[in-house]
Each structure stands twice: as C-alpha cells, then as structure tokens.
Amino acid sequence: MPAADTAEHLSAARSEVKRACHLLEAASPASLEASSSALERAVSGIDDCRRGIRPGVADADVRAADVRTMLRQLRADLRRAGRLLESAADFYRGWERILGAMSGGYTAGGEPAAVARTGKLYCQG
Amino acid sequence: MANILSSLISAAGALDAFTQALDVTQNNVANAQTPGYADQTQLLTAMPFAPADGTTGGVRAAEVVSSRNQYAEQAVRQQNALLGQAQQNVTSFTSLQSLFDISGNSGIPYALNNLFTSFSAWGQTPTSTDARQNVIDSATDLANAFQQTATGMAQAAQNNGSQIDQTVVQINQLAGQLAGYNSQAMQDATPDAGLDAQINSTLEQLSQYVNFTASQQSDGSVTVLVNGQVPLVMGDKTYALQDQPVAADPTSPNPNAPPTMSILASDGADITSQVTSGQLGALVNLANNVFPQYLGTGNNAGDLNTMAKQFADRVNQLLTQGNISDGPPPVAGVALFTYDTTNSTNVAQTLAVDPTVTADQLAAISTGPPEVSNGVPLALSALADPQSSDDEINGASFTGFYGNMAAAIGSGLNGANDSLQVQQSALAQAQNLRQQVSGVSLDAEAAVLLQFQQAYEANSKLITVLDQLSEDTINMLTATS
C-alpha cells in the first residue's frame, strides 16, 4: 500500500477519535451514542491501515517512522477519549448513588439503594 | 356579586404570582453572564378551589428555588483543580527544560562533548602544551556549565517556594472572602441568589489553587474542607493554611541539603499529603519530589551533584595516577577539578577547575606497567564510551546519565502537556454535565442514566479495541523496519 494511503487511513481514524472526544466532551447520552459510531469508523480506519502493512516486509513506500508517529498521536487522542469516558462514567455513577439514596434510601450496609427502574416512559421534547 | 369580587381577587393574585415569576426570569436573563450564578425558578402554588365554600382557587407565588446542583458543582471544581495542577506543571517544567539542553549545542552536553574531544586531541599529541591548555579550558567550560545548570535549578526551586507562599496567601484570601459571604448568608432570612453566585464564583476560583470539597449548610453557609478533611472555612471562620520550609535532618548525611516544603493546617498539623491537586498540589510536588531528584535531600546528593562529583573524581583519579614526567624522579600529576567537599548537595554549584593548575601539570603518562606516554588522555577519552564500570554512573555513561536527567524533565513536560489537554476537555465536559443536570427531575435523570450506561459500555469496548489495534500496528511496523 502506498504511504499516502496508509497515512490517509490513519489521519481519517484520528479525525474520528477526535470527533469522539468532542462528543464525549458534550457528555449527553445522545452524544455518547454518536461517539460510538465515530469510534467504530476509527476502528475501520486502522484496520484498513493494517492491511497495507505486511509483517516482516519492509515496504519502501511506507515511511514507518511517520506512520509510527501518527499512531502515537492517535493513541494519545485515544487516551484522552478514554479519560473523558471515565470521567463521564464517574459523574453518572455518583449521580446514580445520589438518585438511589433519594428514591430508595440506604441499604442495611449503608450503601445507597439501587435506582429503581420502574419501566416509566420518559419523553423529552 | 361576591363571586365576581372573588374572581377578581383570584385573578389579581394570579397576576401578582406571574409578575413575580417574570421578575425571576428577568433576573435570570440579566445574570446570564454573572460568574457563579445559577438560574432561579419561581414555584407557583395552586390555591384551594371549592366554590360551594366560597374558596375561589387561583395561584400564588411560593418560594424561589435555585437550579444549582451541588454534586455537579463539586465535579466542576474537582476538574478545575486538576486543570490548575496541569497548568502549573506545564509552566514549571517548561522553565526547567530550558536548563537541560538535549540538542548538544549548549550547556552540559556541549561542554562535555568538547572536553572529550580535547582529551582525544591531547592523546594524539601528549606533549603539546596547547592540547593540555585546551583540556583546561574545556574543563573550565564544563565546570561553568554544571554551575549554571545547578544555580538555575536552585533558583527555580527558590521561585517555586515563593510561588507556594503566594498561592497559600491567595487561598487564605479566598477563604476569608468565603467566610465573609457565609456571615452574610447566615444573617439572611431568605436565600440570596446574588450572594449564592458570589460564593460559587469564589469556590470556583479557589478550586484552581487547591483540592477541596464544599458542602452547603442549613444556615446557608458553605463549609470548605481541603481534600474533604481539613477545615479551611466553617461558618464565618477561616482556618488559614501556612507553608513552611523543612530543613534536612541535622543528623542526615547532607544536613545542608535544600529544604523541602510542608503545608500546615491552622492548628499546625502537617497536611502536605492532603494537598493533591490544584496549583498548590503541583508546586508542592515539584518542591518535594522533582527538585530534590536533581538538587538532593538529606539522604541523597541529587542527580546533578552525583554526576558532577563522579565525573570530577574520575578525571582527578586518572590524572593523579599518571605522571607528568617519568623522571627520575617521576613527577606525579595533579587533580584538575575542585568542589565543595563538605556538602554533597553543593557539588555541581561549586564545581571548578583548580586555578593553580597549569598546562604543564597535566599528567599524560600512565604508569602501567607497561608505561604508556599518552595513557592518561586515552583513558580520559574512554570516558565518552565507557568500557569499565569505573567510567559509568549507575550503569550509564556520563552522557547517558545526563540524557536520562534531561529525559525525565522532558517526559514530565510531555506528561503535563498531555494532562493539560485532557483536563481542558474534562473541565468542559464537567461544565456541560453541570448544565445538563441543572433542575432536571428524578425521572428524567434515571432515564439518562440508563441511556448513558448503554453508551458507556459500547464506547468502552471500542476504545479497548482501538488501543489494542493501534499497539499491534506499531509492533508490526517495528517488525518491518
């Protein structure tokens, strides 16, 4: 695979990860769902890139050092995405505990009760 | 007639309630840009309606409630403290990196390389006075480079200490403001949205400097605890923090080592370990972990001093073991470097070339056997590429050891820059989350939680897959290149 193609796939994958980060920053459930699609496209981009690299064969067209640098940048963006996902998860976990305590009190062990999922339909307009 | 009057009274009451609701909305709009302000809502209460009894119903204004969510506020403050820490780390490590050149064009690596070159040139012309003088000049440059780096580092440590002083003062000032606001809040019969905005704006400012939790009390005041444990503000009282330099233990090997820094609570208790983030967290970490690694502690000379001492000692050892002339009687060489031998943490700052040494006193002849006329310069040249553990520090060449020191600073800066980027996003995320949860109902929040849980699991798996894929790809590239 020509170097240009490899770089293009990686660049596209990185753009998708950055897009996912942007969506994770918004942190609404809807934007979190949208970030899954962006991450799926990033997986596909890296997969395309991998097909162009044959293990054990040095391809003169692929400037390995450049691709490695791009991959490291991509991994830094991935770490950022992971961190944002975790901080959103922490926030929602905390909320869940508060809601559990507010709606169901505390268990005998002193833990907030689990949030009751009553099957109510909630519509937001 | 009575009914018409009742209806008029009821309508007037409703108008009054709606006017109050409009006033609240207008106040929200007016304060849209006010730091710390949270939207207020005018609650309305339906009045009893029973025409048979003459109660005409209608609506009345109830209390005004704030949309502020203390949990979301705390999440924002927590991210703000981490951002403050990252910003301070970037500033401090950027300044430190300027002391550790890695290009080889200045500072210690440049001077070290020149000295190795001068040793090599002397080895080719062991009797040349010019070559020996060049060695002395290059050694002087290296000693100056050590002095400049160590002095720069010591200056940076001192500035760091001053910044800790200033940050503690700022924290105490903000704590004083909060105590003042608390005093007002405790006197007010009804909640004051303006005062509430001032309190929250001040708490957000404070979070840049130190990690803390704030909890709203029933009397309207906020209690601020550093790391959720140490009182800083309670009611109208401030419990001021103090910073205190801690000198090395007088019985330690290096009693004159640079001091570390402690943060004390108002009762004098050491709470340094409680200060984990914010600008103060970063500064304290630099004072107690980063600077001592280079400048030393009571039990450790510090990397910069270790390198200066071991290099100077090794060069002096090789020179003094050699002879200037083989006699008879043979004349032994003299040591080139001097430094403060009374304080291991002061070696780099005092490293110098003995001003009494002249070119003719540099020994070139290694005594062997067999005697070699240029044995000493050859051995000195070998310091550039060590073949023996005597020429190494902790298994690394002198150049390699310096490289590790510079790399640790570079790595600290990279980590701080990465962290800064992540924290900027994390703070924006926390602010968005705060916006989303303001004034929402429990049902709405429970629905959001369920939706989030599903999205979280999907995203989490995808990030793991991507991480693995990108790592595998890097490994594939390593195999092909």
Give DSSP secondary structure letters for B173-193.
Answer: HHHHHHHHHHHHHHH-SS--H
User: Do B104 and B31 belong together in one domain?
Assistant: no
Interface contacts (A, B; CB < 8 Å)? 166
- Show the tokens assigned to B139: 């050694």
Tell me, what's the pLDDT at A96?
Answer: 82
Taking only the tens place, the pLDDT of each residue in B428-475 is 999 988 888 766 666 666 666 777 777 777 788 888 888 888 888 877
User: Which chain B residue lies closest to A44 (C-alpha atoms)?
Assistant: B466
Give buried/exposed letters for B437-451 (b at 16+ CB in 10 A, else e).
beeeeeeebbbbbeb
- DSSP 8-state code for residue B48: P
* Cα B201 to Cα B299: distance, rounded to the nearest angstrom: 44
Q: Which residue from A53, A83, A115 is facing B422, i.e. has the nearest CB?
A: A83
Tell me, what's the pLDDT at B266?
Answer: 94
Q: Which residue from B428, B436, B459 is facing A85, i.e. has the nearest CB?
A: B459
Tell me, what's the pLDDT at A122?
Answer: 57
Q: Which residues contact B334 (CB under 8 A, 6 or more apart)?
A: B319, B320, B354, B357, B361, B362, B363
B430 and A87: CB-CB below 8 Å? yes
CA angle B428–B433–B434, rounded 5-degree value:
95
For residue B280, pLDDT over 70 is answered with yes
User: Which chain A residue lies closest to B470 (C-alpha atoms)?
Assistant: A71
The percentage of chain B sitting over the pLDDT mark of 90, rounded to a whole number, equals 55
Contacts of A55 in chain B (CB under 8 A): 476, 479-480
Taking only the tens place, the pLDDT of each residue in B125-182 is 988 889 999 999 999 999 999 999 999 999 999 999 999 999 999 999 999 999 999 9
Tell me, what's the pLDDT at A65?
Answer: 73
**Which residues of chain A from 70 to 109 reach within 8 Å of chain B, CB to CB?**
71-72, 74-76, 78-85, 87-89, 91-92, 94-96, 98-99, 102-103
User: Which chain B residue lies closest to A10 (C-alpha atoms)?
Assistant: B470
Least confident stretch, B12-16, B323-327, B477-481? B477-481
Q: Is B158 on the interface with A (CB under 8 A)?
A: no
User: Do B419 and B470 belong together in one domain?
Assistant: no
User: Which chain B residue lies closest to A92 (C-alpha atoms)?
Assistant: B449
Mean pLDDT of the B186-191 span: 81
With H, G, I as helix, E, B as strand and everything else as coil, classify residue B355. Answer: coil
* Cα A106 to Cα A111: distance, rounded to the nearest angstrom: 5
Mean pLDDT of the A16-39 span: 88
User: Which chain B residue lies closest to A58 (C-alpha atoms)?
Assistant: B480
User: Do B150 and B299 belong together in one domain?
Assistant: yes
Q: Which residue from B432, B449, B451 is facing A95, i.e. has the nearest CB?
A: B449
User: Do B38 and B107 belong together in one domain?
Assistant: no
User: Do B280 and B181 belong together in one domain?
Assistant: yes
Q: Is residue B132 part of a domain?
A: yes
> pTM score, two decimals?
0.82
B479 and A56: CB-CB below 8 Å? yes
Determine phi and psi for B369, rounding to 5 degrees.
Answer: -75, 150
Q: Is residue B347 part of a domain?
A: no
* Cα B269 to Cα B242: distance, rounded to the nearest angstrom: 10
Contacts of A94 in chain B (CB under 8 A): 71, 75
Taking only the tens place, the pLDDT of each residue in B78-124 is 999 999 999 999 999 999 998 988 777 888 999 999 999 999 999 99
A29 and B455: CB-CB below 8 Å? yes
Q: Is residue B206 part of a domain?
A: yes
Which residue, among B452, B464, B468, would best test binding to A if mutated, counting the most A CBs under 10 Å from its CB?
B452
User: Do B62 and B73 belong together in one domain?
Assistant: no
Tell me, what's the pLDDT at B242?
Answer: 96
A80 and B466: CB-CB below 8 Å? no
B449 and A96: CB-CB below 8 Å? yes
Q: Which residue from A39, A56, A115 is facing B459, i.e. has the nearest CB?
A: A39
User: Which chain B residue lies closest to A84 (C-alpha atoms)?
Assistant: B426
User: Do B16 and B131 belong together in one domain?
Assistant: no
Q: Is residue B378 part of a domain?
A: no
CA dihedral B348, B349, B351, B353 (to 10 degrees): 150
User: Do B184 and B257 belong together in one domain?
Assistant: yes
Q: Is residue B98 part of a domain?
A: yes
Q: Which residue from A25, A46, A84 is facing B470, i.e. has the nearest CB?
A: A46
Q: Is residue B313 part of a domain?
A: no
Q: Is residue B386 part of a domain?
A: no
Mean pLDDT of the A46-66 span: 66
- The pLDDT mean for chain B works out to 87
Domain boundary among B67, B82, B112: B67
A94 and B466: CB-CB below 8 Å? no
Q: Is B440 on the interface with A (CB under 8 A)?
A: no
User: Do B228 and B293 belong together in one domain?
Assistant: yes
Which domain, by its residues, includes B456? 443-481
User: Do B448 and B434 belong together in one domain?
Assistant: no
The interface predicted TM-score of the complex, written ipTM, equals 0.80
Tell me, what's the pLDDT at B446?
Answer: 66
* Cα B380 to Cα B71: distance, rounded to the nearest angstrom: 65
Q: Is residue B466 part of a domain?
A: yes
Tell me, what's the pLDDT at A98?
Answer: 81
**Which residues of chain A from 24 to 63 reach within 8 Å of chain B, CB to CB?**
24-30, 32-33, 35-36, 39-40, 42-43, 46-47, 49-50, 53-59, 62
Query: What is the tally of structural domains in chain B?
Result: 3
Least confident stretch, A114-118, B226-230, B244-248, B346-350? A114-118
B477 and A71: CB-CB below 8 Å? yes
User: Do B106 and B229 belong together in one domain?
Assistant: yes
User: Do B157 and B90 belong together in one domain?
Assistant: yes
